[in-house]
Amino acid sequence: MTKLPDNSAKLEFSKKEILQELDTILSSDLFSRSSVLSSFLKFIVEETLKGNTEGLKEYTIAVNALGKSVDFNPQIDAIVRIHAGRLRRLLNEYYTTSGVADVIKIEVVKGTYVPVFRTHLIKKPKIETKSVKTPTVFSRSKLTLAVLPFRNLCPDNDYKFFVDGFGEELTRLFSRFEDIAVIAHHSTRKYATNPEDIRIIGSDLGVHYIISGSVKRSSDKIWVNVELLKTMNGMQVWSKTYNYPLNIDNLINIQDQIVENVCSVLGGYYGFIIHENSRFIEPLASNLNSFDAAFWNYYFHMNYSEETYLKTRKALENAISHDPNYATGLAMLAELYVLAHSLGYPTVKDPVQAAFKLTKKALKIDPRCQHANHEYGWLQVYLQNKEEAVKALEYTLTLNPYSVSLMGGVGFNLACAGEYGRAEVLLTQSLSLNPHCPWWFYFGFFLVYYQKGNYQKALEYANKIETVDVFVASLTKASAKAQLGLLKEAQEDVKILNKEFSEIMKNLYPTLEAFLLDKSLVNNIIQGAKKAGVNLD
C-alpha cells in the first residue's frame, strides 16, 4: 500500500465536525443499505482521529471492521481491497447526490486505507446567481432552536388559524426549557412566503435546530407532520406524524395534545435534542465552556463512572470560573458534589453544605432556574426536611410541566422522600414520553416496588440499572433476589459488593439513610442484602 502523510496531526476541521459528517454519511440512504461499508468507514475514520493511522492495514480492518476471524490472511483473501473499492465508489456517489452541499468531504484515496478530510468544493450550475451566506458563528452558551410556520396543505387553504397556531404554541412552550434558547416566532414568519434552504435559514437565524411541519386533512381525518432538522447539514433527525378524526369543535384540544407531546419528546435535559448532541461530547477534552460543560453533565448522568464524573466536575468548575453567574452550571455542580458523596467518588469537604451554598447562589442569580430549584428540593431530602423537600420539588414542576427530565427527576426525588404514589405517577409518565433516562429513574421505580413488597417488580427495574460503577446496581439486585429466595442467583452481585464496594458496605446504613427518608425501607433493603450474604461488618 502507498503510505500517505498522517493527516491526523493537522486537521482542517475539528474532530467533532468530522464525527458529525461521518454520522451524516452513515445516516444517508446510500450507506444505511450497507452495514459492511458503514462499518468499514466508521472504523477507519475513528482510528484516524485517534492517531492510529499506522495500524490501518488489511488485517486490522478485516478483523475489527468486517468481522473476520483472527486467522484472516490478506495474502489469499482480497475482501478488504474489494470493499475498499466499493467504499470509494459509494462515497463519490454520496458527494454527488445527497451530500452535494456538505462542507466536509471524507475521502479514501486509492492506494491507502487512511481517510483524508477536505473542504468539499461545491460546483454550482452557472445559471445560479444566489450566493450562499457565510455561516453564522452560533452562540456556545446554549443549543438554539427556531420553529418555522407550518405549511397548510388543507383543501382551499382552510383551517388557517389551526395551522398558524402550531408555530406560536411550540415557540411559547419551548421557551420554558432553560437548556434550549428559542428564537421569537415573528422572526421566522418571513420564511412562510419566502422558503429557503434549511442551512441558509439556520445561518440567518443563528440556530442549531429548526422545527417545521405541515397540516393536511381529508373529509373525516386530519394529519399533522412535525420534523426536527439540523441546520449544519440540513438533515432531518426526527419526525412524527399525528392523526386524529376530524372534529372542528375539538381542533384546539388536538393542537394542545400534539404540541405538548412534541415538547416532551424533544425538549428537556433528557429529551431528544440534547440526547442527539451528547454523542459528540467525548472527543472534547479541552477548551471546555458552558455549552460543553452542560453536555458533559448530561453525558455523566447517562454514563456513570468515576472517570466521567471527574471530567464533568472539571468541566463545570472551569465553566463557573469563567462565568461565576452561570446559574444552571452552579446548580449542576452542586448536584455533582452530592452525587459523588453518595456514590463514594472523591468530592469536596462537607459536600451537602457546599452544594447548598452553590444552589442558594444560583437561586439568587435566577430565582426561576429549573436546575437550581430542583437541586434545592433534592438537598432538602439530604437535610431530612421532607415537608420542605416535597414543597420545593412540586414547585419545580410548575416551572416547566412539559419537561420529561424534570418529571422523572422529581419523581425519583419524591421516591427518596417516601412519597411513593406520586413518584410512581411521575416516573411512569416520564418514561412513557421519552425512554432516554439515567439509571436512577429505574432506581426510583425499584424503591417504589420494594417498599410495596413487590420484589419481583423491584427486581425487574433493578435489572434495568446497567451501570456497573455504582454500588446501587448490585445492591438492588442482591436485595430483591434474596427477598425472592433466589440466593444462588444473587451471589454474583454479592461478590461485586464485597469486592468492589467493601467500604461502602461497612457504612451502608448511613449511606442509604442520607438520601432515603423512609427508615423502614432502608432497613428492608439492608435485610435483603444480609440475607443475600453481603458483608456489612
Indicate which CATH number applies to the domain containing 252. Answer: 3.40.50.10610
Residues 158 and 234 in one domain: yes
Residues 33 and 110 in one domain: yes
Residues 156 and 71 in one domain: no
Using a pLDDT cut of 70, give the percent of the chain over it: 88
Residues 168 and 243 in one domain: yes
User: Please, which residues have CB within 8 angstroms of residue 30's CB and are 6 or more apart in sequence?
Assistant: 90, 93, 94, 97, 98
| 454, part of any domain | no
Of 267, 292, 323, the residue that ends a domain is 267
Could you tell me the CA-to-CA distances from 1 to 56, 58, 98 in Å, in that order? 11, 10, 31
Residues 115 and 195 in one domain: no
| 534, part of any domain | no
Of 267, 295, 311, the residue that ends a domain is 267
Model pLDDT, residue 278: 59
Model pLDDT, residue 356: 95
Note the pLDDT tens digit of each residue in 492-525: 999 999 999 999 999 999 999 999 999 999 999 9
Residues 21 and 95 in one domain: yes
Residues 105 and 168 in one domain: no
| 523, part of any domain | no
Residues 259 and 168 in one domain: yes
Residues 114 and 151 in one domain: no
| 490, part of any domain | no
| 282, part of any domain | no
Residues 158 and 252 in one domain: yes
Note the pLDDT tens digit of each residue in 372-413: 999 999 999 999 999 999 999 999 999 888 787 888 999 999
Q: Which domain holds residue 192?
A: 143-267
Model pLDDT, residue 249: 77
Rounded Cα gap, residues 142 and 290, in angstroms: 8
| 283, part of any domain | no
| 368, part of any domain | no
- Evaluate whether 174 touches 145 at the Cβ level (below 8 Å): yes
Note the pLDDT tens digit of each residue in 517-534: 999 999 999 999 999 999
| 262, part of any domain | yes
More confident residue, 164 or 394: 394
Residue with cell 381529508: 218
Of 119, 154, 185, the residue that ends a domain is 119
User: Please, which residues have CB within 8 angstroms of residue 156's CB and are 6 or more apart in sequence?
Assistant: none
Model pLDDT, residue 12: 67
Residues 147 and 258 in one domain: yes
Residues 98 and 154 in one domain: no
Count up the domains in the chain and report the number: 2
